[in-house]
Each structure stands twice: as structure tokens, then as C-alpha cells.
Structure 1
Amino acid sequence: MEPLSRYDPLVDDPAAFHEACERPLPSVVRVNRIKATAESVRQAFDEAGVDYEPVDWHDGLFRLGEGESPGNSWPFVHGWVYGQEEVSAVPALALAPQPGERVLDCCAAPGSKTTQLAALMDDRGLLVGNDNNLGRLSALRSNAERCGVTNIAVTRQDARNLSLKPFGGERFDRTLVDVPCSCEGTVRKNPDAVDGWSLDHIEGIAGVQKAILERAIEVTRDGGTVVYSTCTFAPEENEAVLQHALDGGDCRLVDFDLPLESVPGVTDWEDERFDDAVRKAQRIYPHHNDTGGFFCAKLEVAR
């Protein structure tokens, strides 16, 4: 896949990277702990004859056998599980919201990460699921209802100028910024993800990402946590966006642990040099964990 060759200098094994990108992605479901436990889902899958195996790095994720579809089982219909790409579970784990907190998901629809956040919060506190796409918001509402989420407020705002007025003007404790991106890391699920690829598109969407992250930092309290994530490999959408946030002076990057293999963010890309702090971000490549590609960074608001 030609556009992905630009990242060969960043990966340890370009041949393995490209080979992995061309393999189909296994279907994965996440246990919705608002309604079920890993053990009850195992039992339900066994009774329904669903072929599955646990994901070794997370006890609430199951990979489904070839030909299995997440939506074809009664545990899915009843909201016990959510079909979610394996690495898509990473940002919510990094954000680590606590029950009773005020949490914002800037770009929430269709709701995989939002429903995961709600479960981590024990469905307590305030969870704002925001998106500016009306069609996708209906999916968010439907998924939240199926999963039994009751602590959510669904809003339709442009995340670049999100208003705190509907929430009493009070800032959030934690904010997830899983931004729209060029989606290069989803190529195993959507082989056409790199069709029509252009640097102009990457640079254009990076401007949107910078504005969303900037506003997310503004609406998060001092000492609060912001997690920035994408499903793309492009440093223009990853480290360069973090650099923009660091240049704003109201945040710092912090270390965080992931239970799967990853590599640090890059500090040099083409003719750009980024702050050494971006090495605290984590890149996940398809050939390391047999997953999609992902980027995740954790920031602390420090005004």
C-alpha cells in the first residue's frame, strides 16, 4: 500500500508492517461491564456456540473466530458486549475516568469509547458524549441505550468551540480527544482507507485536530487529564498536534502504561523536530500485536 511506505523509516520491520496491514483484522468485542462480566459473556458465548478467544492483554476483550459477527448473538443485542476494534479500547484505559467525575468525550459518535468510559465510571457522575454529526449522534444514543448507560448527556457541538454553558460553566475532570483523522491505521478493517490518500488531506485535518485539542485543554480543569488519540500513523496528525498543544503552554505530556506492545512517539519527521516530551506518547503498529494502528498520548492540564 503505497501511501504507507512513507512510514517505513519509523517502523522496526517495514516488511512485517506492510504484511500485517494487508491481513484482515479479527473481529473483537468488549464486555460491557454495566450489564455483564467477562465470565457471564464466556458462558453466553459457549451456550450460543460463538467461537471466541480472550485477548491476552485485556480480560474484557474477546477475539471472535473467522466468520463470526459481533451483531449476530443475543449478548450483543442485549448490550452485554460491544463490537470494538482491539486498540480502540486503549484511549479510555489511558484516561482512566473514576465514578462520580465529570468526563467529556469530544468526538463521541458512534459510541464505542463513550460506552467504555461509562462502564469505567460505573455509570456514575456526568459523561458528556459530544459530536457534530447528526447522523452519527443517533447511533451514539442507540448504542448508549443498548448498553444501559444512564449517566450520559448527548450534545451536538463543534468540538473546536465547545461551550461549557450547558454544564454550568464548570470544567471537566477528564477529556477524551479521539479526533477525526485520515484513518490510515484502520486499513486492515477498511482496505480502501488509503484510497484517495493525499498529504493535503492530512495537513487539512491536522488543523482541525489542533483546534479540537486546544479547546479540550481549555475546558478541562487545572490538574485534569486529557487523552489525545488517532487511528493514523501520520506524525502531522500525531506528534505535530501534540507539539502545538505544548506550545500553548497550558499542558504537559505524562507517562502512562499500556499492557500491549508499543513504541514511543517520534521526535524527528522529515524537516520537523518535536519536543522530546512527545516520546511519552505511544504508537501501536499492526505487526506488533496483530491489531489496527493507533496513537495515544496523555496530557495533564497545568495552567
Structure 2
Amino acid sequence: MQTIRSQVYRFSRDNEPCARVAPGEVLVFSTLDCFSNRLTDEGVTMATLDYGYDVANPAAGPVYVEGAEPGDVLVVDVYDIAVADEGTIATDDHCGPLHEGMPYATKKVPIRDGYALFNEVRIPVRPMIGVIGCAPDGPDVIDGYVGSHGGNMDNRLIGAGTRLHLPVRVPGALLQMGDVHAAMGDAEICGTGIEIPARITVRVSLLKGFVLNWPVLETADRWYVNACGQEYDEACKAASAELHRLLSQQTGWSRADVYMYMSVQCDLELNQACKPCAVPLSLRFGAPKLSQFPPLIPVPSTIVR
């Protein structure tokens, strides 16, 4: 089992792979927090930190997956996320709906016995991967941003026991991940969750020749299309179109029937919406699993059930 420690700050087809693996292999990604572990105590805030988007949200990787080609899907099974014993939350004066007049502040949050200790409140630790994706086939994308390649989706459901399907855009896929949160609410309203270093254990598999335009998360009972846009309507339209396409392909129903079904059975939920912010709004559109039909996305042959 390889451990991936190299850190990069952009998703890029030009990033040099730090490891090469075959489909079916298990890997451990060793990650820093989104501040590159630089908010060392509560006396250090984002006001004095050189926190440009080109040095934030480091991701471990990238990893070259043998046989991955444009037009394939990289499948990532998340087995475990082990977090450190202390996390960090921070605010600034330019991110989130209450940013005006909000002071810069840093809060250190101890992690004890499965809980984060926030003042008098014990918050259950539910580790999630904020940044995960493959390299785009166009311009580089800074790790703190999100796109159809994945990136900073900040979907709090991407945790242990889930399976993420990522579009492959370049040879080898170039998988990278980081920005783990010990806990986060939908929308990540102040711009940070409980940011924390972690060790992420995953298995990578390959689905050949399956068209996927946006990342899709699979949980025990649902499928979630993850999409983004600078404004809500753009993100909503992108997620709706991809979920509609996949459900139409799965069920064979008419366009109108699928649209109506989405309206009564599918849920549109925010991932990250700390506007105003330069980072696009990220959301997920979830559909129940349907036992009457084949899976929304086929299971790769390297996965044994």
C-alpha cells in the first residue's frame, strides 16, 4: 500500500505524478489542512497570513492510474478518513454573507473520543474530503476552486463508505485530494469547516468508456451529481441536466417523465455557498437508488462484491 505525501496547489495536466498505480490498488493520501498547517495558534489569523488561492487547499498527489484515458471514469472508494487531534476554523472580512464587519478570528478545536469540542458543545466528528478530483484537459484549476473535474466540491457527504465517480480528462487521470474537514455544515457559510490534517485510505478503480460530465457520488441509498456555477441558477441547471441525462439513460423513460420524477423524488442541496466569494457555488442533486433498474453508473470490473 503506497502512501501519497506530495502536495500540489493546482489541478493540472502538467503536474508530475508522484506515484503510478494499477486499477484496484489501495492508497493512503496524507494531507495537510486547507491552511497548509500555517494557522499554528489562535493568535495567527488570516489577516496576517499570505493566503492567496495559489497556496491554499493543498492536495496530496497527483497519482497516475494505469490505463485511464479521456472518456473513462475514475472510481474512488473511500475506506477511511483518520483525522488529527486538533482542527482549525477561521473567519475573514471578505467571504460569506456576514463578512461585512466580521473580525478576523482563528479557533482551535480539540478532537476527543469522536467529538469536536466547540466551546460547551460537543460536535460529532464526521470527516469529509473537501478537495478531490482529476486533472482538467484545459487550463489549470487552483485547488480552492471547483469544476467539472471535481476540485473543491466541499460536499460533506464524501466520507468513509462512499464511492466517488470522476470524469477522466487526461491520460492517467492524475488523482489528487485534500482539504479534509472533521465536520462541516451544508454551505460552509463562513468559508471554513473544522479544517484538519488527515490520512485518507481509498481504492481506485476504472470504468472504461462511460460518459460522465460531472462528478457523481454514490452512497448506500442515493446518487448525487455534483455541479457548480458562479451563481445558483447556473449550478442548478448543470446538475439538473446531468442527473436528467443519467436517469433517462437508466430508466428509458420519456424526458417529461424523468423531469417530473426529479421534481417529486430528487433533492437539490448546497455543498458550498459562502458567497460573496470568488469560488463558484457548489451543490449536489441527489436521486434515490432504484432497484427496478440497473445502477445509474455501472460497477467497474475491478470491484468485487
Question: Above 0.5 in TM-score?
Answer: no
- Normalising by the residue count of structure 1, what TM-score does the alignment of the two structures yield? 0.32
The structure whose RCO (Cα within 8 Å, separation 6+) is larger is: 2
Query: Relative to total residues, which structure has the larger helix share, 1 or 2?
Result: 1
